[in-house]
Amino acid sequence: MEEIKLEILTLPIDEIALSDDCKLYLKQQGFSNLQEVIAKKWNGLREMDGFDYRKFNELIKFLQSQNLLSLMEN
């Protein structure tokens, strides 16, 4: 199970089960994988221009589905 979590964290943004809009936004912000997004933490993401409620909610749902939500705690 831990190996699967690590694999998900290092997958390219394009291979993560998020909407095209969300993936495009994350790539435009310079993120190449989920590990980089998680490293930004919630406060950092909320301060980014264009990180709206829809993207926030989508990311929460995805992380919950992968049992990774706890990694985003500040």
The domain that contains 24 carries what CATH number?
1.10.150
d(CA 63, CA 65): 5
- Report the pLDDT value the prediction gives residue 74, as an integer from 0 to 100: 61
3: pLDDT strictly greater than 80? no
d(CA 41, CA 35): 10
Residues 13-65: tens digit of each pLDDT: 999 999 999 999 999 999 999 999 999 999 999 999 999 999 999 999 999 99
1: pLDDT strictly greater than 60? no
Compute the C-alpha angle 46/47/51, nearest 5°.
50
Which structural domain, as residue segments, surrounds residue 40?
A: 2-72
Residue 47, classed as helix, strand or coil, is coil
The closest of 45, 48, 49 to 59, measured between CA atoms, is 45
Q: How many domains is the chain partitioned into structurally?
A: 1
